[in-house]
């Protein structure tokens, strides 16, 4: 253990510094950081003769992945490489890269995803136990591509890599806002690029049932508003994920979050119907009836069909946020609880879960569900999916249950990449023994769908999920936040080549907001704001519904302002030394903000949708004026005038208030600058 930790520390240091090869200099931009990497002298110089050979029995997944890797490599370099499609017949005499695997990997928990990558001046070798491991190696290989004045190259190195956790997931909620097939596919590509291996597909909730069901067809006919995946589309996506070494786990939330089920089949409900489609957000009352035998007969037939459609060993039943109101109001349910000594709704749900567990086991499926399914009497081969946090995860592990963590990875809550990155499924101070720690399988980033559409979902998932992916893959000791942000910027850029729209749609949404006028002033403003955090947006301003517009500044704004983050560093440097080399950049940035409001006002005049952020834009101008005055005082080693400092108190108070459900992120930095100039 000590040896491994030491290697990880060396790796982290090496990846945070520049590596010099003769007169060539490069900075490695790997994400996730590999378990072990040793850099060597020399480089492998890439040219248009580059070829690849797979020394392996027929494996269509590996051939397809190798072909895709070559296309991406050619796309980045512009090199006209000689190979078209890699096949079993691609027997080259002197390939530059040789790929060797022992077997075709299975899409299952604990499958081997390790690989070894060796790069020398003349030869590249990628060796893996399974083809899935080779796929992970391809991504690292692409990330190693470097450039100098002589062209493209790969640094000589030896990498031995494997994931820290076997369950590394992303959940996409397609129920609250439907996500078309192309959205799912491009996000699967993004997952593969950062070595995530579980796609958790939230397919049924109050607002929509999204799967074609032939056994009970009214589910998709009446419970989807016409937006659902056909079974052929489901199979297409499962195959697409499999080609990338990604498991697909569906979630059908029961017994609560059940409105869309009950619209179709009200006889499943605990309260008399009829039910109507839910358009709002939050915890709703409709809940399946756990004492009606029809419920179990229905779900038996349903899960029989879904088990045949989804091949993974696990099926997610949700099981969360049952408020119990319809159970409390149903005399039949209350009598059943009394007759069977069931004291409360939690134990009644435990009864329900045990019945569902038998159904799933009948179809060779294992149960996974949110914290609420953790009840006495369930077998330990189920998986507890923790949204509540470490306490419940630790408790379930101590009782022998496997678990995964999503608390701290709720990417819809608009928290920083740093916050997610430093949240660990097994923190250093864990009370779990070494044996108990094995019960923690990993975690999932969760993209809940209330406030996102197909236009904005990529920007809420990426690039922060790449930082989460590193937490799931890389050693725990890899946690240099500044270096993570450096590499995250490069990773974000590379993700765009996969068709993800997290960068591209930003300008598009700003153009719509300006009615296709010049977006530069709006972009300058939007670059320094972020949407309000956690669940604030649900309770601030107008009430959101599923059909509300998700096209305002708050929707276009990035989840994390890199401009504000960079400005904060400039302020720290300036306070330490007003004559530092980057001082001019700070003054220039403040000058841009100082002039921006008068330009943006002209755009607001022709685009009333922007009126809600006008006063905040004025605050940005005022903050910039104040910042320039404070910077000038610091440069002259003089104190800010008392009347300026006194007036700043009101400005900071006003500027910190959200408007249009966005927050101005430079307020703390200007406050710090003023504080320094006041002392």
Active-site annotation, residues: 321
CA-based Rg of the chain, rounded to a whole angstrom?
27
Residue positions counted in the chain: 679
Select from 41, 99, 50 the least CA-distant residue to 74. 50
Q: How many CB atoms lie within 10 A of CB 604?
A: 20
Give the residue from 636, 635, 629, 679 showing the smallest Cα distance to 651.
Answer: 629
Tokens for 207? 């607002």
CB 489 within 8 A of CB 521: no
Q: Would you put residue 195 in left (φ > 0), alpha (ψ -120 to 50) or beta?
A: left
**Residue 425, number of CB atoms within 10 A of its CB:** 26
To 5 degrees, how large is the angle CA 54–CA 193–CA 57? 20
C-alpha–C-alpha distance, residues 537 and 411, integer Å: 14
Distance CA 193, CA 420 (A): 19
- Here the tokens at position 155 are 């640094």
User: How many other C-beta atoms are found inside a 10 Å radius of the C-beta of residue 544?
Assistant: 19
CA distances (Å), 73 to each of 158, 462, 640, in order?
20, 22, 55
Query: Mapping DSSP to helix (H, G, I), strand (E, B) and coil, where does residue 481 land?
Result: helix
**DSSP characters for 118-171?**
EE-SS-EEEEEEEHHHHHHHHHHHHHT-EEETTEEEEEEEEEEE--S-SEEEEE
The structure tokens 């086991």 sit at: 361
Residue 117's closest CA among 28, 240, 244?
Answer: 28
CB neighbourhood size of 417 (10 A): 23
Task: Quote the CA–CA distance of 156 and 575 in Å, as a whole number.
Answer: 41
The phi and psi torsions of 478 (rounded to 5 degrees) equal -80, 100
Which residue reads 């590499």 in tokens?
487
Could you identify the residue written with the tokens 């220039």? 588
How far apart CA 355 and CA 262 sit, in angstroms, is 20
By the 10 Å C-beta count (0-12 exposed, 13-18 middle, 19+ buried), 97 is classed as buried
The vertex-265 CA angle with 264 and 270, nearest 5°, equals: 125
**Cα distance between residue 422 and residue 480, in whole Å:** 9
CB 203 within 8 A of CB 179: no
**Which 3 state secondary structure label does DSSP give 379?**
coil
**Cross-strand bridge partners of residue 403:** 384, 440
Given a contact cutoff of 8 angstroms between Cβ atoms, the answer to whether 327 and 347 are in contact is: no
Determine the number of helices (DSSP H) and then strands (DSSP E) in the chain.
Answer: 25, 20
């Amino acid at each position: 253990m000590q040896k491994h930790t030491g290697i990880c520390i060396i790796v982290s240091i090496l990846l945070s510094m520049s590596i010099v090869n003769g007169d060539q200099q490069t900075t490695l931009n790997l994400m996730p950081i590999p378990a072990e990497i040793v850099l060597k002298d020399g480089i492998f110089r890439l040219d248009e003769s580059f070829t690849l050979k797979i020394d392996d029995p027929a494996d269509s997944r590996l051939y397809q992945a190798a072909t895709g890797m070559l296309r991406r490599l050619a796309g980045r370099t512009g090199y006209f490489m000689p190979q078209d499609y890699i096949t079993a017949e691609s027997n080259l005499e002197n390939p530059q890269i040789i790929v060797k695997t022992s077997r075709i990997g299975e899409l299952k928990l604990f499958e081997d995803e390790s690989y070894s990558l060796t790069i020398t001046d003349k030869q590249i070798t990628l060796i893996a136990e399974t083809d899935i491991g080779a796929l992970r190696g391809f991504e690292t290989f692409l990330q190693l591509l470097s450039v100098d004045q002589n062209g493209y190259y790969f640094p000589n190195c030896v990498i031995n890599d494997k994931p820290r956790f076997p369950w590394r997931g992303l959940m996409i909620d397609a129920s609250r806002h439907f996500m078309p097939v192309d959205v799912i596919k491009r996000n699967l590509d993004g997952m593969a690029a950062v070595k995530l291996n579980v796609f958790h597909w939230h397919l049924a909730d109050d607002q929509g049932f999204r799967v074609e069901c032939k056994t009970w067809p009214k589910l998709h006919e009446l419970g989807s508003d016409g937006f659902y995946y056909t079974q052929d589309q489901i199979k297409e996506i499962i195959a697409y994920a499999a080609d990338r070494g990604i498991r697909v786990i569906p979630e059908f939330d029961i017994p609560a979050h059940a409105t869309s089920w009950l619209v179709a089949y009200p006889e499943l409900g605990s309260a008399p119907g009829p039910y109507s489609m839910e358009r709002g957000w939050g915890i709703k009352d409709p809940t399946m009836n756990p004492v009606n035998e029809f419920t179990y007969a229905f779900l038996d037939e349903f899960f029989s069909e879904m088990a045949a459609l989804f091949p993974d060993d696990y099926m997610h039943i949700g099981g969360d946020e049952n408020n119990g109101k319809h159970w409390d109001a149903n005399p039949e349910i209350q009598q059943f609880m009394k007759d069977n000594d069931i004291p409360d709704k939690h134990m009644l749900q435990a009864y329900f879960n045990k019945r569902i567990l038998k159904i799933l086991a009948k179809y060779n499926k294992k149960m996974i569900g949110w914290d609420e399914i953790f009840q006495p009497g369930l077998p330990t081969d189920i998986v507890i999916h923790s949204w509540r946090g470490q306490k419940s995860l630790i408790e379930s592990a101590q009782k022998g249950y496997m678990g995964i963590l999503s608390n701290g990875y709720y990417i819809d809550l608009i928290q920083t990449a740093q916050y997610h990155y430093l949240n660990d499924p097994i923190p250093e101070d864990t009370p779990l023994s070494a044996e108990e720690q094995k019960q923690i399988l990993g975690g999932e980033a969760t993209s809940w769908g209330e406030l996102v559409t197909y236009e904005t979902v990529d920007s809420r998932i990426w690039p922060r999920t790449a930082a989460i992916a590193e937490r799931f893959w890389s050693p725990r000791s890899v946690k240099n936040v500044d270096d993570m942000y450096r590499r995250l910027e490069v990773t974000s850029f590379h993700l765009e080549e996969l068709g993800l729209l997290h960068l591209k749609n930003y300008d598009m949404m700003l153009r719509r907001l300006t009615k296709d006028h010049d977006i530069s002033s709006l972009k300058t403003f939007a670059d320094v704001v972020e949407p309000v955090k956690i669940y604030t947006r649900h309770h601030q301003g107008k009430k959101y519904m599923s059909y509300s517009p998700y096209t305002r500044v708050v929707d276009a704004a990035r989840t994390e302002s890199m401009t504000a983050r960079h400005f904060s560093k400039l302020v720290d440097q300036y306070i330490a030394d007003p004559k530092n080399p980057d001082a001019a950049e700070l003054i220039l940035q403040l000058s841009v903000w100082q002039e921006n409001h008068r330009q943006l006002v002209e755009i607001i005049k022709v685009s009333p949708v922007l009126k809600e952020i006008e006063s905040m834009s004025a605050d940005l101008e005022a903050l910039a004026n104040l910042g320039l005055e404070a910077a000038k005082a610091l440069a002259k080693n003089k104190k800010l005038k008392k009347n300026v400092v006194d007036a700043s108190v009101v400005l900071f108070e006003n500027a910190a208030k959200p408007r249009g459900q966005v927050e101005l992120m430079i307020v703390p930095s200007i406050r710090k600058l003023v504080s320094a100039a006041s002392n």
